[in-house]
Amino acid sequence: MTNSTQCIDLRSYLFVPGNRPERFAKALDSGADAIIIDLEDAVAAEEKAASRRHIEAALDQGLFRSNVPSIYVRINAADTEWFIDDLALIKEAHMLGVMLPKAEHAEQVARIHEMTEKLCCVIPIIETATGLINAQAIAQADGVERLAFGSIDFQLDLQCDGSETALLYARSQLVVVSRWAGLAAPVDGVTVALDDAEQLTQDAQHAKSLGMGAKLCIHPRQVSIVNAIWQPTRDEITWAKKVISALAQVESGGQLGQNAMKVDGMMIDRPVLLKAQRILNQLRME
């Protein structure tokens, strides 16, 4: 299993179609923490091979040389005719990451890990009931970086709607499994309403409230909203600084008591302190 600390700060994952190479540079300049070059849903069957060549050309031109943003390729599912050729590209190009759609079994992830000579990390996308049932085994497979939720296909598989209530169990399960497996918090699915900032904000806030750590984006204008949602709020930062300051006073012999501290009338114990530290650790330079 890979060390999840390498992706814990990634908040936004922006898809860009592999058959639209003119959009690669725009995606890199979008402010997204990670770019996902898509060889699956966004690319028709007759364009799969050409899309791989577009990625190879971009690599030859040094377009993906920087480590910021992180680069992933969403390959085609393990049961498709394009899977082997997609993995060959990953292996030859030494791509940083793979997103595996329709992930349902740990063996699928292990196969990617072995076929790419353990050179890349994998983000399995849980999109079916079978994938959710097997999420624990998938999360423990060698090479897994974090899990992602394919909410649109999951709705189709379960024949449910996309409401918060209908998908609550699946999202919460992925959060719990990720924590249990020592992975970074999972990546939430897309919001398909491209021109509805209010809906995107609501979706992202809901996902964050459940413990999800990032979100998939399908347009560059979604990125800034998603990034902002996963930044600590001004009130959270102020509170966290007060907690850390109170701790410093105790450690330097202050008068807050040997075994307990209070901040704004609230008793501060170890879990609360860890929460404050985590908030301050999330601060990023934009």
pLDDT per position as a tens digit, 17-40: 999 999 999 999 999 999 999 999
Residues forming a β-bridge with 72: 36, 97
Token pair 């904000």: residue: 201
The predicted-structure confidence for 127-160, as pLDDT tens digits, reads as follows 999 999 999 999 999 999 999 999 999 999 999 9
pLDDT at 253: 55
- Could you tell me the pLDDT band of residue 8, with boundaries at 50, 70 and 90? low
SS (H, E, C) the chain: CCCHHHCCCCCEEEEEECCCHHHHHHHHCCCCCEEEEECCCCCCHHHHHHHHHHHHHHHHCCCCCCCCCEEEEECCCCCCCCHHHHHHHHHHHCCCEEEECCCCCHHHHHHHHHHCCCCCEEEEEECCHHHHHCHHHHHCCCCECCCEECHHHHHHHHCCCCCHHHHHHHHHHHHHHHHHHCCCCCEECCCCCCCCHHHHHHHHHHHHHHCCCEEEECCHHHHHHHHHHCCCCHHHHHHHHHHHHHHHHHHCCCCCCCCCEEECCEEECHHHHHHHHHHHHCCCCC
When the pLDDT of each residue in the chain is averaged and rounded to a whole number, the result is 88
The CATH homologous superfamily to which domain 4-229 belongs is Phosphoenolpyruvate-binding domains (3.20.20.60)
Res. 254: pLDDT tops 70 = no
Share of the chain above pLDDT 90, in %: 68
pTM of the model: 0.85
Residue-level pLDDT at 250: 65
82 pLDDT band, cuts 50/70/90, is very high
Spans of all domains in the chain: 4-229, 234-281
- Relative orientation angle of helices 234-251 and 270-281, to the nearest 10 degrees: 120
Measured distance CA(111)–CA(143) in Å, rounded: 10
Q: What is the pLDDT of residue 271?
A: 74
What confidence tier does 54 reach under pLDDT thresholds 50, 70, 90?
A: very high
The pLDDT assigned to 7 comes to 66
